[in-house]
Amino acid sequence: MAADINNSVRYELIDEGSEGQKIDNFLIKTLKNVPKSHIYKLLRSGQVRVNKKRIKTDFRLSLGDSVRIPPFTSPKNDIKAPISIKPEHALLIEKAIIHEDEALIVINKPCGLAVHGGSGLSYGLIELLRKSRPEAKFLELVHRIDKETSGIILVAKKRPALVDIHKQMRNKTIHKKYQVMVNGRWQKKQMIVDLNLLKTTAEDGQKKVRVLSKDTAIEGAKASRSVFFLKHAFNDFSFLEVKLVTGRTHQIRVHLSHLGFPIVGDDKYGDFSLNRKQGKLGFKRMFLHASELGFRHPLTGDDIFLTAPIPIDFIELQSYAKTH
């Protein structure tokens, strides 16, 4: 439900879709067009109450809680425009589903689609999915992959499923594998890469990740590990599989760039002159694909193993690489 100006008190009863959620996140989701600054102002002033009691911003909701949302007015220039999504675009996501059960949806995301809106994008995969399923009480991304990366993305239909898989991720029991095409002729059959990574923000506001030397101690730096397997080496390209041990931002892209084997088509860490040359040949995407995902099902406890087939443009680039 959308809201920007609310002239009367309203009450929301917490169902299983919001059970366990923090009150600030619940309000952000419920009051879709209201700026976060206004929501936190309502919380800090004690105007939002749960079961008639004042609560803090980190309060977690329980099934059956009654949330009081007070009257408020947001300045017109702060109100966000509602998202407009064409139904046919939402249906494309439904067609990309490769597995679904009572707790989870698994989607083979196409290259070029962000997983969520923001940073100049009005909507992404999760908004499209919610548009195609307006009756769904709970749909949340379990993890993220880059806009230009294709492949497996996991969406939770129940909050306990989301919480359980996040726990598996923290315990490093999730299996993740990627397929990637890089510039250069890779030599080793298997290589383990351990690097310390640090997120940075450039003057133009762009987020990037850089590699630190092992003896450099900087607050915010995080250890990262990838295992690379050579599948095919061509003259000027190599086809690799990558097993992620950690899941840091841009991890595979930064590891490969640091090693001197940038991903074909990577516009942030790649070889820009080669990208232009390859783009003229019709290879215009970033050649990184999330191909495998394994985990313990959060409700049944069964082992789940899912695959997304290699995209046709990977096959086309390999065919080109064999003859050039």
Residue 47 in tokens? 């105007």
Q: In which residue are the tokens 């590990």 written?
A: 225
146 is catalytic: yes
Q: How far apart are CA 123 and CA 277, in angstroms?
A: 31
Within 13 Å and on the Cβ side, how many CA atoms surround 149?
Answer: 24
Q: How far apart are CA 214 and CA 61, in angstroms?
A: 43
Residue 182 in tokens? 């890089």
Helices (H), 65-111: 87-95
- Residue 111's alpha-carbon distances to 30, 63, 104, 120, 146, in angstroms, are 30, 38, 21, 18, 9
Catalytic residue among 4, 24, 65, 146: 146
Which value, to the nearest 10 degrees, does the dihedral of the CA atoms of residues 128, 132, 133, 138 take? Answer: 0
- 107 and 92 in contact (C-beta within 8 Å)? no
Contacts of residue 136, defined as CB under 8 A and 6 or more positions apart, other chains included, come to 17, 130, 157
Tabulate helix, strand, coil % of the chain (nearest 5).
Answer: 25, 30, 45
- 233 and 185 in contact (C-beta within 8 Å)? yes
DSSP class of residue 166?
H
Instruction: Choose among 110, 269, 293: nearest CA to 200.
Output: 269
Contacts of residue 286, defined as CB under 8 A and 6 or more positions apart, other chains included, come to 111, 146, 148, 149, 263, 264, 265, 266, 267, 270
Contacts of residue 233, defined as CB under 8 A and 6 or more positions apart, other chains included, come to 185, 186, 187, 239
Catalytic residues, which ones? 146
